Amino acid sequence: MEPDFAAGIGNHHDTAMVEAHIRAKLAGLSEAFASNDVEAYLAGFHEEATFQFHYSPRLVDGRDEYRRLWREWEQNDGFRILRSVTSDLTIRISSSVCVVVQSLDMTYAVGDRVIPSAERQTLVFAQDAGWLAIHEHNSPRPEA
């Protein structure tokens, strides 16, 4: 049974519990994404979550739109994730919002092309959404 965080964060212990909860959610999101399980991945997001990708000119508005795009990429382009690893995790928690910034190194395929990608990913989780993610933003990661 998951802890009930509805009462808010009132002390360090509460913050530690929320951080542990978010870390578990991140592990599930990472595993689902790396295994191309779009349904499990999107289950970690609120239905009205937004997604911004550096390769897309527009905001993806909601889980249903992301699901549709993913399926379209798979069917039309042969899209699939080959490898996905996160690192450099930073978590910041306020009373009702958690912001996660991490490095995302992945390799994906589009048809026969194999494409490496180094990104910086920001995820925003909201307490009033049951600590589901409400926004994802991916941007190219500058070379170190």
Q: Chain-centre distance of CA 128, in angstroms?
A: 18
CA neighbor of 16 nearest in space, from 91, 123, 99? 91
Domain 12-140 has CATH 3.40.50.300: no
Q: Which tokens go with 103?
A: 């490095």
Burial 75-113 (b: 16+ CB within 10 A, else e): eeeebebeebebeeeebebeeeebebebbbebebeeeee
* Bridge partners, residue 45, by sequence: 133
Measured over the CA atoms of residue 107, residue 51, residue 3 and residue 13, the dihedral's sign is: positive
Least confident segment among 63-67, 91-95, 101-105, 111-115: 91-95
Residue that has been written with the tokens 């911004």 in this structure: 52
Contact 125, 134 (CB under 8 A): yes
Domain layout of the chain by residue ranges: 12-140
Residues recorded for the chain: 144
69-93 pLDDT per residue, tens: 999 999 999 999 999 999 999 999 9
121-133 pLDDT per residue, tens: 999 999 999 999 9
Residue that has been written with the tokens 């937004």 in this structure: 50
9-45 pLDDT per residue, tens: 555 558 889 999 999 999 999 999 999 999 999 999 9
